[in-house]
């Protein structure tokens, strides 16, 4: 027998079509308290909102007050995710207005904690899940997303999230964070970005045993299955969204370079961990060398601590960028570069089998008897006497006081880049790098760190954030529609970024422009990338070949968070006019792409 409530529901005539409330519930069309009184009457949502009508600026201010009251960063993260889930325009207006404060929350370091706890914190989602159980059915999953005109896809398999290791399907948090930054920093329309996780299982036993874990509870699949799934996704994504840029994010060392070889010339794709990080670190290194008056790479000695795919990829990028800047060969970079892994200095004489990506960087000029004394980072630093120390090891605190003091004793301004994320994995606290070098160090970190007052001097570490690179690269590719994204495009981005710090930035010791200027930076990076694509002949859209005109086109193309005009809603046909509801249905369908 039906309950009274179910009986009422069963006998109530169903009113079909689009209702005004649908525009409140759709995160792309919702204006919340900013709906005008006339819009509320027309949409039949009177009584669903407080009577006072606010502006977008009023709403941003309210959420800023709420944001500041949260003490724990993860609570701030959840607050902003809730805003994103209900009102996309408000979310991005807030992030752009308070970018410096928002960035450590929606990206590193807080996003790392959010990923580790993703299943426990889960409430809703805006991403796409591709799993091995659906091999052969990926096109259907893509179409189920009901996303049209996707321009940027951030794809991860969760196998190497930041410095936190294998997080499985929880890695979707990184894709969500990066797509948010494409919008906030690169001006991509929020309905045209798509975070995707490829669930291939996880070797993280803690996750598999967590009852709230949301992914496949199996060990990671073998390489054949991995590439079968990825091949199918790449082909289906190109078919469904032929203009999209695909960014590979946080894939493990054993797949990174092979993926680039497999897809780079066939699809419009790039690897942010290798190429994006490489570009931003290269730009920072050029800025640092400029500050110390270096005119040649040959005078430098560079030690990398960490020899994974990201580290060797960064070294390759530095080789490309410095070769272009100093007009030298890439061999010069190889001559001055040393890698240290868990076994010590990477050489051809130490007797072990090296991973493929390490082989080009293995030193062949170190006698075997010397290598026996080079099994730790400190021993290598004493032996090499580096002028540049770059950390991509995820080994927090690895750059000790002795190492910094040794560098400071052998060069006037040691360049120290602790780049591992999140901040707990940083090889050194920038404040310690300054203290132990008596303020002489030039520092760029992967995560944001505060300034330090040392003997009356305010020393602010730069943040070598990929945010300076990937949004502009993506924006440039969306506009120029290249057949592929050659490495030369990333080199052009790095060279342009190195030119952007102002004289005031340089005098303050900064290697990059302030992060608040990132939308202007993205404009310049996009222009530089387009010019390089035109030069290489890979751009398929006919565009002006001069920088001022391109800059105008790029700026015009960038999305800004503003609410649709009142007339936009008043022109809609709603439920009260059932004869023609195409306008309202169309807006809801196209909300992701038109707002």
Name the region of 485 (left: φ>0; alpha: ψ -120 to 50; beta: rest). beta
Does 465 belong to an annotated binding site? Answer: yes
Burial class (CB in 10 A: 0-12, 13-18, 19+), 68: exposed
To which H or E segment does residue 302 belong?
Answer: strand 302-305
Does 120 belong to an annotated binding site? Answer: no
Judge whether 425 counts as a catalytic residue. Answer: no
Q: Closest Cα to residue 170, out of 235, 126, 115, 208?
A: 115
Write down the residue that tokens 């930076």 correspond to.
521
Question: Residue 349, Cβ neighbours under 10 Å: how many?
Answer: 16
Does 87 belong to an annotated binding site? Answer: no
Kindly report each contact of residues 95-103 with a partner whose C-beta sits within 8 Å and lies 24 or more positions away, as own/partner.
95/180, 95/184, 96/184, 96/519, 96/561, 97/60, 97/64, 98/64, 98/67, 99/184, 99/185, 99/515, 99/516, 99/518, 100/515, 100/516, 101/67, 102/184, 103/448, 103/465, 103/467, 103/515
| DSSP annotation of 199 | E
Find the length of the chain: 595
Query: Given 31, 76, 147, 178, which residue is catalytic?
Result: 178
The gap from C-alpha 80 to its chain's centroid, in whole angstroms, comes to: 17
Does 199 belong to an annotated binding site? Answer: no
Edge-to-edge strands, sheet with 193-199: 128-131, 193-199, 152-156, 245-248, 269-271
Tell me if residue 506 falls in helix, strand or coil.
Answer: helix
Under 8 Å CB-to-CB from 58, ≥6 apart: which residues? 33, 34
Q: Give 516-561 as a DSSP string.
A: GGHHHHHHHHHHHHHHHHHHHT-B-S---SSHHHHHHHHHHHS---
Please report, for residues 118, 336, 350, the alpha-carbon distance to residue 375 in angstroms, rounded to integers and kept in the order given: 38, 19, 10
Question: Residue 32, Cβ neighbours under 10 Å: how many?
Answer: 17
CA dist., res. 216 & res. 131, Å (int): 8
Judge whether 178 counts as a catalytic residue. Answer: yes
C-beta separation of 321 from 279 below 8 A: yes
Query: Given 107, 182, 563, 569, which residue is catalytic?
Result: 107
CA dist., res. 586 & res. 468, Å (int): 36
Backbone angles phi, psi at 311, to 5 degrees: -65, -45
To which H or E segment does residue 487 belong?
Answer: helix 487-499
Does 382 belong to an annotated binding site? Answer: no
Name the region of 293 (left: φ>0; alpha: ψ -120 to 50; beta: rest). left
Does 30 belong to an annotated binding site? Answer: no
Q: Give 230-251 as a DSSP string.
A: HHHHHHHHHHHSTT-EEEE-S-
Query: Beta 415-418 vs 388-391: how paired, if at all?
Result: parallel
Question: Residue 60, Cβ neighbours under 10 Å: how many?
Answer: 22
CA dist., res. 422 & res. 110, Å (int): 8
Q: Give the residue numbers of the binding site for (S)-malate.
A: 160, 421, 465
Binding residues for a divalent metal cation: 249-250, 273
What residues form the annotated binding site? 160, 249-250, 273, 421, 465
Q: Which residues are catalytic?
A: 107, 178
């Amino acid at each position: 027998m039906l309950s009274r409530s179910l009986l009422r529901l069963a006998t109530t005539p169903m009113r079909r079509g689009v209702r005004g409330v649908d525009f409140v519930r759709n995160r792309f069309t919702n204006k919340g308290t900013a709906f005008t009184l006339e819009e509320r009457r027309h949409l039949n949502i009177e009584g669903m909102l407080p009577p006072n009508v606010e502006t977008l600026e009023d709403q941003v201010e309210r959420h800023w007050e709420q944001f500041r009251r949260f003490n724990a960063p993860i609570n701030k993260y959840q607050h902003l995710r809730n805003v994103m889930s209900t009102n996309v325009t408000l979310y991005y207006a807030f992030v752009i207005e308070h970018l410096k404060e928002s960035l450590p929350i929606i990206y590193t370091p807080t996003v790392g904690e959010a990923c580790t706890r993703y299943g426990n914190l889960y409430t809703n989602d805006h991403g796409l899940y591709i799993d091995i159980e659906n091999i052969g059915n990926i096109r259907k999953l893509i179409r189920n997303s009901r996303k049209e005109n996707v321009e940027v896809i951030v794809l991860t398999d969760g196998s190497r999230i930041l410095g936190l290791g294998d997080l499985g399907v929880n890695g979707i948090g990184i894709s969500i964070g990066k797509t948010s930054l494409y919008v906030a920093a690169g001006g991509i329309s929020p309905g045209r970005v798509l975070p995707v996780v490829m669930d291939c299982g996880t070797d993280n036993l803690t996750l598999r045993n967590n009852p709230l874990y949301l992914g496949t509870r199996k060990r990671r699949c073998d390489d054949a299955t991995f590439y079968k799934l990825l091949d199918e996704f790449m082909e289906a994504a190109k078919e469904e969204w032929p203009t999209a840029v695909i960014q590979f994010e946080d894939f493990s060392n054993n797949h990174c370079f092979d993926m680039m070889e497999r897809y780079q010339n066939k699809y419009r794709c790039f690897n942010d961990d290798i190429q994006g990080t490489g570009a931003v670190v290269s730009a920072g290194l050029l800025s640092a060398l400029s500050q110390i008056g270096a005119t040649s790479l040959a005078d430098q000695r560079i030690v990398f601590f960490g020899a994974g795919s990201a580290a060797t990829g960064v070294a390759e990028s530095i080789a490309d960028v410095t070769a272009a800047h100093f007009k030298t060969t890439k061999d010069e970079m190889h001559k001055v570069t040393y890698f240290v892994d868990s076994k010590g200095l990477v050489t051809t004489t130490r007797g072990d089998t090296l991973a493929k990506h390490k082989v080009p960087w293995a030193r062949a000029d170190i006698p075997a008897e010397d290598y026996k004394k080079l099994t730790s980072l400190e021993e290598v630093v004493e032996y090499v006497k580096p002028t540049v120390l770059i950390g991509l090891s995820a080994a927090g605190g690895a750059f000790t006081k002795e190492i910094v003091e040794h560098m400071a004793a052998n060069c006037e301004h040691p360049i120290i880049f602790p780049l591992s994320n999140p901040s707990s994995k940083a090889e050194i606290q920038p404040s310690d790098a300054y203290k132990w070098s008596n303020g002489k160090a030039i520092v760029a970190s992967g995560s944001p760190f505060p300034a330090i007052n040392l003997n009356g001097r305010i020393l602010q570490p730069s943040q070598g954030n990929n945010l300076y690179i990937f949004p502009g690269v993506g924006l440039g590719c969306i506009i120029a529609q290249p057949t592929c994204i050659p490495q030369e495009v990333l080199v052009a981005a790095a060279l342009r970024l190195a030119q952007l710090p102002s004289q005031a930035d340089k005098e303050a010791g900064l290697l990059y422009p302030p992060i608040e200027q990132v939308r202007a930076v993205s404009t310049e990076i996009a222009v530089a990338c387009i010019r390089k694509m035109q030069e290489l002949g890979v751009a398929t859209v006919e565009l002006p070949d001069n920088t001022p005109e391109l800059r105008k086109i790029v700026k015009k193309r960038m999305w800004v968070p503003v609410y649709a005009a009142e007339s936009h809603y008043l022109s809609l046909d709603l439920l009260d006019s059932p004869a023609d509801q195409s306008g309202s249905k169309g807006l809801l369908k196209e909300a992701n792409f038109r707002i």
